[in-house]
Amino acid sequence: MIDFTDREMINAFRMHKRSSAQMPPSGTKRLVQFYAVECGLKALHMRNEGKRLTGECPYFSIVQHDIRALLGNLNFPPKLYSKIASTILSPINKKGKLIKREVAPRDYNQMWRYGAVSNEDEILEKELDAIIVKIEQDLR
């Protein structure tokens, strides 16, 4: 894992936040929101732990991209992220069999990076926006 400073994580959060705010609703917007949330939550975790570098936080190797776990670890109000849960994508045909696809919050980035669409995308986009607002407040 490459080390990043707490300042870099905060700057990344704000950069992704600004970029996503200028985008129309889309998977790309949600992907950028997701990364804003991940960077912001990790910056808050670092602050709470008194750490300056991401490599000083072994928890990050465990949690990786799981924003739901990060939200819980930081004691965010559960009602703020109640919709951040596993979501279902349309099934795909694999050798004549329909394969169900369930996406956990830790894999949202893959879902949106590869252009998949979930029935909950609009709801998730709104919830990510609310989480971004809370992170910004907590970073002040």
pLDDT tens across 119-131, in order? 899 999 999 999 9
Q: What pLDDT does residue 61 have?
A: 87
Instruction: Quickly tell me which residue has 């050798």 as its tokens.
Output: 95
Q: Where are the domains of the chain?
A: 6-139
What does R_g of the chain's alpha carbons equal in angstroms? 16
Amino acid found at 34: F
Question: What is the residue-wise DSSP string for 20-43?
Answer: HHTSPSSHHHHHHHHHHHHHHHHH
Q: Within a 10 A sphere around the Cβ of 28, how many other Cβ atoms?
A: 15
Q: What pLDDT does residue 93 have?
A: 92
Helix, strand, coil share of the chain (percent; to 5): 60, 15, 25
Q: What pLDDT does residue 134 have?
A: 97
Q: Kindly give, in sequence order, each residue whose CB lies less than 8 Å from that of residue 83, ignoring residues fewer than 6 positions away.
A: 120, 123, 124, 127
Q: Tell me the percentage of the chain whose pLDDT exceeds 90.
A: 86
pLDDT tens across 61-90, in order? 888 999 999 999 999 999 988 989 999 998
What average pLDDT does the chain have? 94
Are the C-beta atoms of 110 and 103 separated by less than 8 Å?
yes
What is the Cα–Cα distance from 71 to 25, expressed in whole angstroms?
23
Q: Which fold has domain 6-139?
A: Four Helix Bundle (Hemerythrin (Met), subunit A) (1.20.120)
